[in-house]
């Protein structure tokens, strides 16, 4: 079975300081170090494990510019056999979803793993759209997954310690939650072997997706920083007195009590 996994190139939030483009309508990508979206790493790992258990081929797909294609290569050292880089601009979630769905259809994936959210736009929209476009079921925020090759069982942590177990028939779109697995390390041996693996570059046209299909339905008008956090306040005095004052402030000023 071919196992698909969607990979987005997102800013490395650990080291990146964001700057806006001059019109405040985007992030200045030149200032950013991109890496694999952290939740997609769980998706990649799950795909790799599924292949190890059942055989098949793991194909990672990304939509984006040449930089995204380069980030996609990182997954070739952690269990992905082949990459597909759709050379296109990420305009909005629906356009991206159309391209990913077209790849899933032409490759004939049995399962498509995605991260539950991309840490840049935080939209969580693409996987559900892909499933809808394909007519496949979609299970989100999955923390455990298994399959026998025809059907699947997926668990979702729905809050309050409650676990929801979903079963169904393949093909399916699964989005990975933290805890689904522990992504493996890129070992040098695999890093070297990855150099020989292929990332195929495809265009929207070759996938049969027209410019009209890709016309954005969402436009981004402006970005702004959240308001700066006001300075903290120290309440002097002995503990009992300070506690009384704290309660008064929480009630009268912050109005949270």
Residues near other proteins, by CB under 8 A: 74, 77, 185-192, 195
Question: C-beta of 17: minimal distance to other proteins in Å?
Answer: 17
Give the largest Cα separation in the chain, rounded: 73
Quote the least distance from Cβ 190 to other proteins, whole Å. 8
Distances (CA, A) of 67 to 8, 73, 122, 217: 11, 10, 20, 25
Q: Is the CB of residue 136 less than 8 Å from the CB of residue 107?
A: no
Radius of gyration of the CA atoms of the chain, in A: 22
Closer of 165 and 185 to other proteins (Cβ): 185
Read off the tokens for 189: 């041996």
Beta carbon nearer to other proteins, 195 or 229: 195
CB nearer to other proteins: give 107 or 190.
Answer: 190
As beta bridge partners, residue 166 has 154
Q: Which residues contact 60 (CB under 8 A, 6 or more apart)?
A: 4, 5, 6, 7, 44, 47, 72, 75, 76, 80, 82, 83, 84
For residue 50, the minimal CB distance to other proteins (Å) is 20
Q: How far is the CB of 45 from other proteins (least distance, A)?
A: 13
For other proteins, which is the closer residue by CB, 40 or 74? Answer: 74
Cα–Cα distance between 46 and 128 in angstroms, integer?
A: 18
**Shortest separation between residue 188's beta carbon and other proteins, angstroms:** 3
Report the residue number, 189 or 229, with the smaller CB distance to other proteins. Answer: 189
């Amino acid at each position: 079975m071919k196992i698909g996994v969607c990979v987005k190139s997102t800013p490395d939030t650990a080291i990146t300081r964001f700057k806006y483009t001059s019109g405040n309508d985007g992030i200045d990508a030149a200032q950013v170090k991109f890496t694999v979206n952290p939740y997609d790493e769980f998706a990649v790992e799950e795909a790799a494990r599924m292949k190890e258990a059942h055989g098949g081929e793991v194909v990672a797909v990304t939509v984006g510019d040449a930089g995204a294609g380069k980030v996609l290569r990182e997954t070739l050292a952690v269990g992905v056999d082949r990459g597909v880089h759709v050379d296109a601009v990420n305009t909005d979630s629906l356009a991206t979803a159309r391209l990913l769905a077209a790849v899933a259809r032409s490759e004939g994936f049995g399962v498509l793993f995605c991260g539950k959210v991309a840490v840049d736009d935080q939209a969580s929209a693409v996987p559900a759209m892909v499933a809808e476009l394909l007519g496949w079921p979609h299970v989100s925020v999955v923390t455990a997954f298994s399959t026998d090759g025809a059907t699947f069982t997926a668990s979702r942590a729905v809050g309050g310690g409650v676990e929801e177990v979903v079963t169904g028939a393949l093909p399916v779109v699964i989005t990975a939650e933290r805890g689904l697995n522990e992504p493996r390390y890129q070992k040098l041996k695999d890093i070297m072997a990855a150099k020989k693996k292929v990332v195929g570059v495809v265009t929207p046209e070759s996938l049969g997706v027209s410019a009209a299909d890709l016309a954005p339905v969402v436009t981004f008008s402006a970005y702004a920083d959240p308001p700066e956090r006001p300075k903290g306040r120290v309440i002097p005095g002995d503990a009992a007195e300070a506690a009384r004052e704290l309660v008064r402030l929480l009630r009268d000023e912050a109005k949270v009590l």
